[in-house]
Chains A and B, each alone.
Chain A
Amino acid sequence: MNLKDNINPKISLIIGISFAVFIDLVLSKLMASWSYSWLPVQASKAAPYVDNLFAFETGIGTFIFLGCSGVIGWVLLFNRAPKYDESYGEPFEGNVKLEIVWTLVPLFLVIAIAIYSTKVNTTLQNLGEKTKYDSQKELPTYLDNNEASAGTFIDVISRQWSWEFKYPEGFSSSELHLPINEKVYFRLISKDVIHGFYIPAFRLKQDIIPGSIISYSLTPTRKGIYRLRDSMFSGAYFSQNQTNVIVESKDAYQEWINKTVKKVPVDGLNQAGFLYKKRLEKGDKGWATISPSPSPQVNDPGNPDSAHEG
């Protein structure tokens, strides 16, 4: 009599399953920690919240995915019918207890995820009011509310296909300069179609709806140069509609303001206009597009070629 025969098959099943669950848990934990490296650098207050939530879901997702595909893999290895064997498998039709378990467990899981993300939403609160606005008219000035005295206010104006950032000091820029660790308030405005205000390093995105002014706020937390991309398809030169966000120390930011406010306005960054001109020179081949809006007049056209992280 060898040792194998003495072990109760039920006990060995429990040991086997516990071992598999343990391995699955370890791998899921590893995957969750690894998931941080799949994302750009964290450059805003929102980023760590989003990344933690993503890691949490990556962990749960990995556990479920490996659990399910582990069973499928097991079956593929050990339950394959030999050639010409058409005999039946074990004919069990179901198990109500098991059904209830796998209805309730996912239910609790999604409730947990939903509560967690609702909390994150409440913490972040990036989106402010949305008010109707006639884009043909001048922008209304900020009302004298208490907020107006504290913090930085920038108007983001999006067009087909360029960005313009208007600073309260009365100048414009093609690149978005922001002071570090300070809450910045935006008014997002589109002059034509829907655009998306998306900064991957900030983990933030907001559609800009023509006919509305959307208030938005965020706090950058890391110095560096990041990409701002149009994320909502906006027509022919959509993919050219990107610029840089420069997060700098408060002093450097102030210095930039003092320097830029004295500059003479020039044509702003307008990659689409450049490409469209080239297209016209080559005989206007391709399918129809509306012509890009003229370059905004800005005091600092920026440098689109400076290296960006994320």
Chain B
Amino acid sequence: MTITNYDERIIKVNQPVPGAPNNWRRFFGFNTDAKVIGIQYIVTALIFLLLGGLLGMLIRGELITPPSDLFDPTVYNGLYTMHGTVMLFLFLFPILSGLTNLLVPPMIGAPDMAFPKLNALAFWLVPVFSIVLLTSFFVPGGPASSGWWSYPPVSIQNPLGHFLNGQMLWIVAIGLSGVSSIMGAINFVTTIITMRAPGMGFFKMPIFIWTVLAAQILQLLGLPALTGGAIMLFFDLNFGTSFFNPETGGDPVLFQHFFWFYSHPAVYVMVLPVFGIFSELFPTYSRKPLFGYKFVAVASFGITILSLVVWVHHMFYTGTPMWMRNLFMFTTMLIAVPTGVKVFAWIATLWGGNLRLNTPMLFCLGGLFNFIFGGITGVMLATVPIDIHVGNTYFVVAHFHYIIFNTIAFGIFAGIYHWFPKFTGRMFYEGLGKVHFTLTFIGATLNWLPLHWAGLLGMPRRVASYDPEFAIWNVIASIGAFMLGVASIPFILNMVSSWSRGKKSPPNPWDAIGLEWLLPSPPPHENFEDDIPTVLNEPYNYGLNKPFVVDEEFYISKALNDS
């Protein structure tokens, strides 16, 4: 039982860091254990979710009435820019890196990530660029306020003319975030390719691993474009170069290409792991095999490839020639095909199942329901004539929140609840979880469903004030947003109290199939240590009587004894 298919020296060096504390203090230092790093990422990101949510509620506070009466419009612009930036770069990317860190090594039977120190470095860049970004609230002139796209020339106008300005700090933070993400991507891809348990061929990997691989390859291909664009923007802003400045011969539309070449795939970087979470949880809580495992797995790479050739759909009304608009409309719509394969597979997985509606399953079902809706409005937005009307209106804002919150954040909550017992060794309180789900689902629906109609009627996004005919949709949306704020209370209560005094969790509380569930809760430092299991079959063989690994009973009893 000591066969490994990778060089053991990779992980036996300096592992764990000599002298690293083994108590709560380990979460506050440079620790190279992927499970510690995972929790560091998740907790940091959740704190920023609260900050981003607070900024969101301030925005909704301003928009509850038509005139710009709560803040000066300059302040509103800074708030919505920072809301988007915090949510994407300080909440979503880090929390997904956190889940990936927690799950990849145990799921593939590896002791840790391929490059533990690089992993820790990637995490510690998060507080660094977060502080850089948040410092911009306190520099003269305020933070960046040109939206999270930072389109020039608005973003390079620099009203006060200081070298140290909010926009400059924003670019530095985004650049560092990109560096951190590239470090993470190199680590995840290498780990998945080289460190899988014996017998775990690509078509025996859990779907979560497939989706992480597809997403992280996308990071490696796309991030250089954004980082390059950000550096050029930095030079235009601070040194007067003219990459994008039309007054000196630059082309502002060029930046949009650099930006969207990464930032559209970035959505798939975020949504793919969530598809992975759906694919893990639906079989577990339906007590059935995943319908069409191979199709679902391969569809992930269909999405990766297509998502690299759709970015111009953000530029249908910037003067893009007709042939190019038609081409990118078609590639964008094609994404519906692999995505549809996944959605239909999940629904078929539910069909005829024996459903257990606990908190993680509820978040999954809610996420799937919202995703179907968001996917349909996505195809509408891909349609050039419709996009020309609703592009840059609240219809887009509503659509992408349906994806990014109502799907991705729902999936993340599902994942947090599902694997909470595994990595903390404690059960969470189901009742509080259900309250959290109910408030989140109602709040999110109230917040973003009505805004589709505001957009269809022509309310532009990013406005600090609007014509009174849009008021009704905005009042409902603001009520929903405040409800989402309330929803965080049961969640925080649940997490804190369950981790400190929850019931002890058995190794496999959900009766799930997967290598991580063969480990004690919480898993030991190097997961399976020297007893790495040999994988026999595809995952998700619920009810089929096909063991996932050789000598399953041995691991089950070992995990029970070690817990």
Give me the interface of A with B, judged by CB distance under 8 Å: 38-40, 46, 49-50, 53-54, 57-58, 61, 64-65, 68-69, 71-72, 75-76, 79-81, 85-95, 98-99, 102-103, 106-107, 109-110, 113-114, 117-118, 120-122, 124-125, 127, 130, 135-136, 192-194, 196, 198, 200-201, 203-207, 209-212, 214, 227, 229-240, 242, 275, 279, 285-290, 308, 310
Could you tell me the distance between the alpha carbons of A79 and B392 in the complex, rounded to whole angstroms?
42
Q: Is the CB of B372 within 8 A of A239?
A: no
Residues of B within 8 A of A39 (CB): 389, 456-457
Chain A min CB distance to B14 (Å) = 43
Residues of B within 8 A of A205 (CB): 317, 388-389, 391-392
What are 29 A-B contacts defined by CB distance under 8 Å? A38-B453, A40-B457, A54-B380, A57-B379, A58-B380, A65-B376, A72-B347, A79-B286, A79-B353, A79-B354, A81-B354, A90-B353, A93-B293, A102-B344, A106-B336, A113-B383, A117-B384, A117-B386, A135-B246, A135-B247, A207-B319, A209-B246, A214-B319, A229-B460, A235-B77, A236-B77, A238-B463, A288-B74, A288-B160
Residues of B within 8 A of A135 (CB): 246-247
Could you tell me the distance between the alpha carbons of A127 and B377 in the complex, rounded to whole angstroms?
25
Residue of A nearest to B543 (CB): A88
Residues of B within 8 A of A46 (CB): 385
Residue from the list B143, B325, B354 in contact with A87, Cβ < 8 A: B354
8 closest A-B pairs by beta carbon, nearest first, are A200-B458, A287-B142, A211-B246, A88-B543, A286-B72, A288-B141, A239-B463, A91-B543
Q: Check A124/B385 contact, CB under 8 A, given A80-B355, A227-B458, A239-B464.
A: yes
Residue of B nearest to A86 (CB): B511
Residues of A within 8 A of B29 (CB): none
Interface set, chain B 68-121, CB cutoff 8 A to A: 68, 71-75, 77-78
Residue of B nearest to A199 (CB): B458
Q: Does B340 contact A (CB under 8 A)?
A: yes
Could you tell me the distance between the alpha carbons of A203 and B457 in the complex, rounded to whole angstroms?
10
Residue of B nearest to A125 (CB): B322
Q: Is the CB of B385 within 8 A of A88?
A: no
- Number of B residues contacting the other chain (C-beta, 8 Å)? 102
Q: Does B502 contact A (CB under 8 A)?
A: no
Residues of A within 8 A of B458 (CB): 40, 198, 200-201, 227, 229, 310
Chain B min CB distance to A307 (Å) = 10
Residue from the list A90, A121, A237 in contact with B288, Cβ < 8 A: A90
Residues of A within 8 A of B290 (CB): 93
Q: Is the CB of B343 within 8 A of A68?
A: yes
B157-186 interface bits toward A, Cβ cutoff 8 Å, 1 = contact, 0 = none: 101100001100000000000000000000
Residue from the list A50, A81, A235 in contact with B146, Cβ < 8 A: A235
Q: Does B544 contact A (CB under 8 A)?
A: yes
Q: Is the CB of B354 within 8 A of A88?
A: yes
Chain A min CB distance to B185 (Å) = 29
Q: Does B356 contact A (CB under 8 A)?
A: yes
Q: Does B479 contact A (CB under 8 A)?
A: no
Residue from the list A64, A81, A235 in contact with B372, Cβ < 8 A: A64
Residue among A58, A91, A212 with the most chain B CB within 10 A? A91
Could you tell me the distance between the alpha carbons of A71 and B350 in the complex, rounded to whole angstroms?
9
Residues of A within 8 A of B157 (CB): 193, 235, 290
Chain B min CB distance to A218 (Å) = 11
Could you tell me the distance between the alpha carbons of A156 and B200 in the complex, rounded to whole angstroms?
63
Q: Is the CB of A310 within 8 A of B319?
A: no
Residue of B nearest to A136 (CB): B247
Residue among B153, B464, B465 with the most chain A CB within 10 A? B153
Residues of B within 8 A of A201 (CB): 458
Q: Check A127/B319 contact, CB under 8 A, given A210-B252, A227-B467, A235-B154.
A: yes
